[in-house]
Amino acid sequence: MKPRALLLLLLLALPALALRAQDPLVEALRKYQSGDLQGARDMVDKAVGSEQHAGNAEAWLLRGFVYKDLYKATTGTAEGDAARDTALASLYRTLGIDKDSTYRDNAVQAYEFLSRSCYNEAAKALADGQDTRAVMVFDTYRESMLLLSPKADLRARETEFTNALGTLYTRRFNEDRTRTEWFEKATDTYRGVLRIDPENYGANYNLATLFYNMGVSRIRALQAEADIITMQQVQEVAREYFQLALPFMLKAHDMNPGRSETILGLEGIYYSLQDEMNSEKFRQLYETLPPQEDR
């Protein structure tokens, strides 16, 4: 809802209050109309904290719009996040006490705008490598959406965001494979995707690749002068990672048999497991693929 339309709606709803110059809700509305958001915030906070307006849907709606505009003026900051949280809470409060649904459409429209902004900011934070902020803002998105619509199906958004988060963790691990904390975060994240969507191709393939790369890293880290017992122990650990990789790569291949990346992945995994027959099988399969077969 446009601010001008909101102002008209509230002004029509408050004829009696307009006679009271010192009423905090009237003052909040006047300051909001003049563009004084800080003054409007102070007065509307005072209004909803008063016995007179604590149960007043108009007051809570105005508070939601004031804080929404404060958020828009400070997007991407801690101050902006706090303003958005307050706006969401105020708009939700409006819906709870607006018994005649007079303001429902306006409150829902503003609430959904703010919820969507959380998802958009979470995606941007991931693109900027700010995973902690991304997770925090995405949690706000999920919680706010489910609060408004408890049966909302957020699985597509969940998998999209979580896959992107796993990609960020994977990139950090690949930059320095001694940083196993990123490996753990990445594998846990992709497993989270598969709990939501077991048929998710990206999560299956990326998990397989992570486990395979960890096995390869363990072998490559062996020093030339390592004793035979150490070598055997490391090779056994690496083998365990290759075995972990196999079912996820097989799953990804079954989902899309024409992708060269899974065929090459299976060739490498079977080779590392010393299964020459299956390794050769997938090598030959790869060689039969037409050019640029991936799809």
* Rounded CA separation 204/214 (Å): 16
CA dihedral 69, 29, 2, 125 (to 10 degrees): 10
- Distance between CA atoms of residues 241 and 175, nearest Å: 19
Query: 244-267: per-residue pLDDT in tens?
Result: 999 999 999 999 998 999 999 999
Instruction: Report, as an integer, the average pLDDT of 170-193.
Output: 94
Check for a shared fold between 1-152 and 165-295.
yes
pTM: 0.83
What confidence score (pLDDT) does residue 293 get? 46
Residue 272, Cβ neighbours under 10 Å: how many? Answer: 21
Pairwise CA distance, residues 22 & 11, whole Å: 16
Residue 5: pLDDT band (50, 70, 90) is low
104-143 pLDDT tens trace: 999 999 999 999 999 999 999 999 999 999 999 999 999 9
CATH number at 1-152: 1.25.40
Place 278 in a pLDDT band, splitting at 50, 70 and 90.
very high
pLDDT score, position 19: 47
Task: Tell whether the model's pLDDT for residue 102 goes beyond 60.
Answer: yes
Span 165-295 CATH architecture: Alpha Horseshoe (1.25)
Flag the least confident range among 9-23, 55-69, 109-123, 260-274: 9-23
Q: How is the chain split into domains, by residue range?
A: 1-152, 165-295
Write down the mean pLDDT value for the chain. Answer: 90
